[in-house]
C-alpha cells in the first residue's frame, strides 16, 4: 500500500504523520541540549522500534519503559541503558534479574524497603550490581515515597549501602502538570517538582551520597524552566505524538498532534439525528470520558460534529446543534478523529499506518502486554 492515500485503508485505522513525529522529537532534543540535560525518552506511548530510533537519534541508548514486555522487546533489538520506571513488581524480579545480567545497563525503580530486600535476596551473577532508581513523589500523588518524609532519605541510604546494589538515581514524575492550563501553570508545577528534587539531592549530598536526578512529563518538558538544567536527565514520552489533551493543557498546538484515527460512516439514524461510525472504544479508547465539547475526540474539519458515545465497535456522531445534513456524510465516507489521549488510542491498535503528507509509507508494529 506504500504510496497510496490514507483513504485506501480499512477502518478503524491509526495513522501516524512521520514528519510531525520527527519534528516533535527534534524539538525535544534541542530543548534538552539547550538546557544541558540528558533526554531519556519514554517509550510507553508508541512502543515501536522505528519511533524509538527517532526519539534517540538512532543511538538505541538511554530510554525509559513502563513494562517488562517493552524492556525485553527493546533489549532483543539492541537497545541498552534501559530504565524500567515502574515500582518493582515482586512477581517479575527474576525477569528483571535476567535483563540485568544480560544488558550493559538495565535499571529498576523502587519506592519501598520490601522491594530493596527482594533485590538483596536475589544477587546478580558475575559480580554485577542491581542499578536502582528511587521513585520520589514530589506532588504527583501516584507512586513514590514522599520527598519531604524522613523515610525517603532513609530508603535512599539503605539502597546506597546495600550489598550488590547501587543507587543510580532519583526519579520523579510531575504528572500533576496534566491538571494545568497554559504555560504559566505548567512551569509553576515544573519548578516545584524540580525544586523538591534538587532539595532532596542536597540531602543526599549532605550524607555523602551522589547519584543522578530525573524528572519528567510532556507538559513540563515542552515548556521547561531553567532550573531543570541542574538535573541530570528528563524523561518525557507523549510529546512524540501529542494529542488533544496536551493541546488543552498548553503543551502543544493541535497542528503538532501526529496521530489520527480514521473511521467510516456505516449508518444514518435520522430518528436520532445521528451518524453511526465504525470506531468504537476498541478503536480509540474511552479515555477523556467524553468531556470535550466534541465528545471523545475532535472530528477534524468538522467542528460542528460530536462523537457523543461509543460501544465496543460503534460510535455515535451527532451535530452539536441543529439537524444533520446526511448528504454531507454518505455511507462509506471517511471521518478523521484526533484522539484525546494518544497513548490510550495507540494501545488499541496492533499496527500503526505511517504516512508523509497523506501518502502511506509503511507500518509500525508495537509490542504489547506486560
> Residues 196, 229: one domain?
yes
> Residues 189, 281: one domain?
no
> Residues 199, 300: one domain?
no
> Residues 269, 194: one domain?
no
Q: Is the four-CA dihedral 347, 349, 355, 358 of positive or negative sign?
A: negative
Report pTM: 0.96
> Residues 161, 231: one domain?
yes
- Position 52 in a domain: yes
> Residues 151, 43: one domain?
yes
* Number of domains present in the structure of the chain: 2
- Residue 280 is predicted with a pLDDT of 98
- Residue 363 is predicted with a pLDDT of 98
- Residue 245 is predicted with a pLDDT of 98
- What are the per-10-residue average pLDDT scores of the chain (370 residues)? 94 98 98 98 98 98 98 97 96 97 97 97 96 96 95 98 98 95 98 98 98 97 98 98 98 98 98 98 96 97 97 98 97 98 98 97 97
Q: What is the domain extent for residue 201? A: 36-238
The 3-state secondary structure of 117-181 reads HHHHCCCCHHHCCEEEEEEEECCCCCCCEECCCHHHHHHHHHHHHCCCEEEEEEEEECHHHHHCC
Residue 70 backbone phi and psi in degrees, to 5: -65, -45
- CATH number of the domain where residue 160 is located: 3.20.20.10
Please say whether the beta carbons of 177 and 155 come within 8 A. no
- Residue 69 is predicted with a pLDDT of 98
- Report the C-alpha gap between 123 and 132 in whole angstroms: 13
- Residue 348 is predicted with a pLDDT of 98
- Residue 93 is predicted with a pLDDT of 97
- Residue 1 is predicted with a pLDDT of 78
- CATH number of the domain where residue 297 is located: 2.40.37.20
- Position 152 in a domain: yes
Amino acid at each position: 500500500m506504500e504510496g497510496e492515500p490514507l483513504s485506501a485503508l480499512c477502518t478503524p485505522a491509526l495513522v501516524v504523520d512521520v514528519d510531525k513525529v520527527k519534528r516533535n522529537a527534534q524539538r525535544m532534543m534541542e530543548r534538552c541540549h539547550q538546557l544541558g540535560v540528558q533526554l531519556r525518552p519514554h517509550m510507553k506511548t508508541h512502543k515501536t522500534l522505528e519511533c524509538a530510533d527517532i526519539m534517540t537519534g538512532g543511538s538505541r541508548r538511554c530510554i525509559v519503559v513502563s513494562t517488562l514486555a517493552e524492556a525485553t522487546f527493546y533489549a532483543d533489538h539492541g537497545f541498552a541503558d534501559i530504565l524500567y520506571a515502574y515500582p518493582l513488581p515482586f512477581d517479575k524480579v527474576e525477569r528483571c534479574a535476567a535483563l540485568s545480567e544480560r544488558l550493559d545497563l538495565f535499571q529498576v525503580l523502587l519506592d519501598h524497603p520490601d522491594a530493596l530486600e527482594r533485590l538483596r535476596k536475589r544477587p546478580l551473577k558475575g559480580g554485577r550490581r542491581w542499578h536502582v532508581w528511587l521513585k520520589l513523589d514530589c506532588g504527583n500523588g501516584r507512586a513514590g515515597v514522599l520527598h519531604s518524609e524522613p523515610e525517603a532519605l532513609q530508603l535512599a541510604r539503605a539502597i546506597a549501602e546495600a550489598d550488590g546494589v547501587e543507587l543510580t538515581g532519583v526519579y520523579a514524575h510531575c504528572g500533576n502538570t496534566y491538571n494545568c492550563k497554559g504555560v504559566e501553570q505548567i512551569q509553576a508545577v515544573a519548578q516545584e517538582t524540580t525544586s523538591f528534587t534538587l532539595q532532596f539531592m542536597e540531602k543526599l549530598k549532605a550524607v555523602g551520597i551522589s547519584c543522578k536526578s530525573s524528572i519528567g512529563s510532556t507538559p513540563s518538558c515542552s515548556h521547561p524552566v531553567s532550573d531543570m538544567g541542574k538535573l541530570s536527565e528528563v524523561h518525557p514520552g507523549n510529546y512524540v505524538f501529542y494529542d488533544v489533551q496536551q493541546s488543552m493543557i498548553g503543551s502543544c498546538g493541535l497542528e503538532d498532534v501526529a496521530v489520527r484515527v480514521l473511521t467510516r460512516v456505516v449508518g444514518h439514524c435520522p430518528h436520532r439525528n445521528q451518524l453511526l461510525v465504525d470506531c468504537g472504544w476498541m478503536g480509540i479508547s474511552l479515555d477523556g470520558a467524553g468531556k470535550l465539547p466534541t465528545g471523545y475526540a475532535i472530528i477534524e474539519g468538522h467542528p460542528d460534529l460530536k462523537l457523543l458515545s461509543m460501544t465496543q465497535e460503534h460510535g455515535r456522531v451527532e451535530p452539536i446543534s441543529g439537524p444533520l445534513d446526511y448528504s454531507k456524510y454518505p455511507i462509506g465516507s471517511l471521518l478523521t478523529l484526533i484522539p484525546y489521549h494518544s497513548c490510550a488510542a495507540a494501545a488499541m491498535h496492533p499496527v500503526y499506518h505511517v504516512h508523509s503528507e497523506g501518502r502511506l509509507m509503511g507500518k509500525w508494529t508495537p509490542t504489547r502486554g506486560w
